[in-house]
Amino acid sequence: MYKDQKIILRNLPNERCSRYLEAFLEMLLAERGIATNTLDAYRHDLKDLARFIIEGRNSSVAALDTAETEHLRQYLANLQKRGISSRTVARRLSAMKSFYRFLNSEGLRDDNPSAVLKSPRKGRQLPKVLTENEVAKLIKSASQLPGAEGLRLKAMVELCYATGMRASELIGLPVSVLKRDPNVIIIVGKGNRERMVPLNKAAKDSVNEYMKVRDVFVNKGQVNNYLFPGTKGLPITRQRFFQLLKELAVLADIPKSKVSPHILRHAFATHLLNNEADLRSVQKMLGHSDISTTQIYTHVLDYRLRKLIATSHPLGKFTEEAK
């Protein structure tokens, strides 16, 4: 169990929230290898539900453990009344369902009050995507920044775009990551699952140039085993990388809202598919356990597929000739 994950579990305030919430979170951590951020989101969502139940004037229950279906329905309605997005409501319902399934499977409840609840319909939200030209402008702007800061930022942008890494995966890379095989990079993703992604020459060259100045970012007298070091032996923070990208967007004359670590990940997937990569390969490189998660990127294929039907399918040819 990681140190920061222990802190999350140990510091759960006792708000008559649930006698079993800590056990539930420990199960997620031990059996599913759930990421720290996801664990914290479950904790936050279930504690919000607990507060709603406890504070409800008409509620006869005193804790999350004994809530009934009607209390859960009231909570979901309250979320919508508060203007919470349908995606967030769906996420909180997922946390509720997991918690009550856990109670039921462990024999702590005879029923599952969340079983009959249905998730609100979520609008299909397509990811923001940078064009290939915009990514090129970002990389060019980074290469024009002076000194070690410029070399570091260029290497981080190139790695994100070349591999589709999440920000947390990027900053967690060990300095030894390219020593085994410089042509591929092994990424440790969600649930500590490893995946291997090919590395292009541009990204390798950027990292090699950055490695010549990496020691500038390591405090004297400290050991730092991260590729992109921060302070006190830790990696650079996600917040700092996010901030650097926003500053880079201004230099590249690209709207700041279009640039973030996750949007670079979207660009990686979209540009691969747009250049005829197959969906399964992109799924593996992104580290998606379910291909349905990857399918959101297929919006970029619409035009190419329509053109293929029109020019290659017999019916398409017939239709074109009839015009």
Question: pLDDT tens across 89-114, in order?
Answer: 888 999 999 999 999 999 889 999 99
Exactly one of 87, 140, 256, 262 is catalytic; name it.
Answer: 262
Contacts of 171 (CB under 8 A, 6+ apart): 226, 228, 235, 236, 237, 238, 241
Catalytic residue list contains 16? no
Measured from the Cβ of residue 22, the count of other Cβ atoms closer than 10 Å reads 16
- pLDDT confidence of residue 10: 38
Query: pTM of the prediction?
Result: 0.59
Q: What b/e sequence results for 122-159 when a residue is b if at least 16 CB atoms lie within 10 Å of its CB, and e otherwise?
A: eeeeeeebbeeebbebbbebbeebeeeebbbbbbbbbb
- pLDDT confidence of residue 127: 59
Exactly one of 51, 91, 128, 190 is catalytic; name it.
Answer: 190
pLDDT band at residue 2, thresholds of 50, 70 and 90? very low
**CA dihedral in degrees (226, 230, 232, 235; nearest 10)?**
-40
- pLDDT confidence of residue 135: 94
Ranking 48-57, 244-253, 311-320 by mean pLDDT, the lowest is: 311-320
User: Which architecture, in CATH terms, is 3-105?
Assistant: Orthogonal Bundle (1.10)
Exactly one of 195, 204, 265, 271 is catalytic; name it.
Answer: 265
Catalytic residue list contains 297? yes
The yes-or-no answer to whether 3-105 and 132-296 have a common fold is no
User: Has residue 58 got a pLDDT over 60?
Assistant: no
- In the chain, domain spans: 3-105, 132-296
Catalytic residue list contains 180? no
**Closest Cα to residue 161, out of 120, 206, 222, 124?**
206
Above pLDDT 90, what percent of the chain?
Answer: 39
Residue where the block lists tokens 């453990």? 65
Exactly one of 20, 42, 226, 297 is catalytic; name it.
Answer: 297
Catalytic residue list contains 166? yes
Catalytic residue list contains 265? yes
Q: Which burial class, exposed, middle or buried, applies to 190 when counting CB atoms under 10 A from its CB (0-12, 13-18, 19+)? A: middle
Report how far residue 208's alpha carbon sits from residue 288's, in angstroms, rounded to the nearest whole number. 29
Domain at 132-296: CATH code: 1.10.443.10
